Structures are given as C-alpha cells and as structure tokens.
Amino acid sequence: MSEEKVVKYPGEQIDVYWDGRLCIHIGECGHAEGDLFVGGRQPWCVPDQADNDEVVEVCERCPSGALTYSDQSGHSEEAPDSNKVQVSYNGPLFVSGDLSIDGAPDDMPGTRFRAALCRCGQSKNKPFCDNSHTDAGFQDFGAVGQKGPGIETGGGKLQIKPIENGPLLLSGNITIHAGSGRVAWQGDNAALCRCGHSKNKPFCDGSHKAAGFTSD
C-alpha cells in the first residue's frame, strides 16, 4: 500500500479512501461481498467491483474511521441517531456518533463519525488506538458496573477532549455498551480512562497520576 496518509481508490460512481493512521486491521473490509477488497491485489480496493450500497455499508461499518467514501451522486455519511461508546475486550474504546475530537487533524475525515480510542496508555498515536494494547498485554474484559444518570435523547454533538496527562472527557449524550454488548451506562458527561491503570474501567479514577501517565 502507499505511504501516503490517505489513499484514494477511485471508481466510476464512488471513491473510497483509506487512512493508514487510523487502521487497526479490524477486518470489516475483508468481509465485503465480491471483490471490493482483495488482499495482495493492486489496487487493494476497486470500488467498481461492488454496487454503491455495498461500498457505503462496508465503509460505514469500519469502527476506526479508516475507511471513508465520496459518492459522486452527492450522498454522504450522516451521523448515527445516537452516540455510542463500545468498550472492547482487551482493546480500545470504539466510539461512534456525531463526533468532535479535540486535536484530530482536519485531513482525518473518518473521525467525524467513528473512532477507536486508546485506553491502554501505550499507543504512539494517541488519542487513537494503534494496537499497542496487544504487545502491552493490556487486559480488561469490558465490564461496566455503573448505570449513570440517564439521557433524554441519544443524538447530538459528542465532544471528546483528551486531557493532558489525564483521561478522555466526553460531553454530550452518551450510551456506553459493556464488552458483552449490553447498554450499561447513559449520561451526558464522562471521564474515561486512557492510561490503562484505573480500577474502575472504563471510567477514570485518578490512577494516571500515580502511574505517571503522560500524553498531550
């Protein structure tokens, strides 16, 4: 693949973009129907090998935001009806919704609606996950023991602010799903651990201070 930050794969009716800074190889693209994505082929992605609806579906289910598209008919991705945080088993926080992530580059459009955020403290691409949790041996099964104050509606802007040397502060309507998939917590403000040391994951408990966690 190209060493460019964002690689464009043009099609007759729809173009696909792949952002290597965000890709953590979840593999949704590998489960696309037909020959839209074929490993080892050059080019890896050929949008004309699938209909537009399939291309859109595959791109929008990429949880890291690494895949995006530009539909020449004018269709564009829209924010989901609700803001969701999925706590993954031994892995990142998968966030989806109408996102505004402080510090995300302007040329990283995938993070407008989808992102994988580091919670092991080891990523070299903070606040985004880069799969460092695997080598670090990070373990957390995704249990969530609190219910939260609740929300009246699920949508609206979700502001995500990484605090220097501290947690991720989320402001907006939030629904947190445990690793099992169940709806576990709902509220409009949350401080989520990103140092990997909290004893109350996914929430911050101040452990980053004793752990000496550092990050912008």
CATH number at residue 148: 3.40.5.90
pLDDT at 4: 63
Q: Hey, which bits of 142-199 come out as E strands?
A: 157-162, 168-177, 183-192
Q: What average pLDDT does the segment 144-168 reach?
A: 94
Could you tell me if 137 and 190 lie in one domain? yes
Q: What average pLDDT does the segment 204-216 reach?
A: 96
Could you tell me if 40 and 98 lie in one domain? no
Could you tell me if 101 and 207 lie in one domain? yes
Domain that holds residue 31: 6-71
Domain finish residue from 71, 94, 111: 71
Question: For the chain, what is the mean pLDDT?
Answer: 94
The answer to whether position 67 is within a domain reads: yes
Taken as a whole, the chain contains a residue count of 216
| Closest to 91 measured CA to CA, from 144, 140, 126 | 140
Residue 100, beta-bridge partner list: 159
Give 46's pLDDT tier (boundaries 50, 70, 90): very high
Domain count along the chain:
2
The answer to whether position 108 is within a domain reads: yes
Give 32's pLDDT tier (boundaries 50, 70, 90): confident
Give 185's pLDDT tier (boundaries 50, 70, 90): very high
pLDDT at 2: 42
The answer to whether position 157 is within a domain reads: yes
Give 144's pLDDT tier (boundaries 50, 70, 90): very high
Could you tell me if 27 and 100 lie in one domain? no
Global confidence as pTM: 0.94
pLDDT at 16: 96
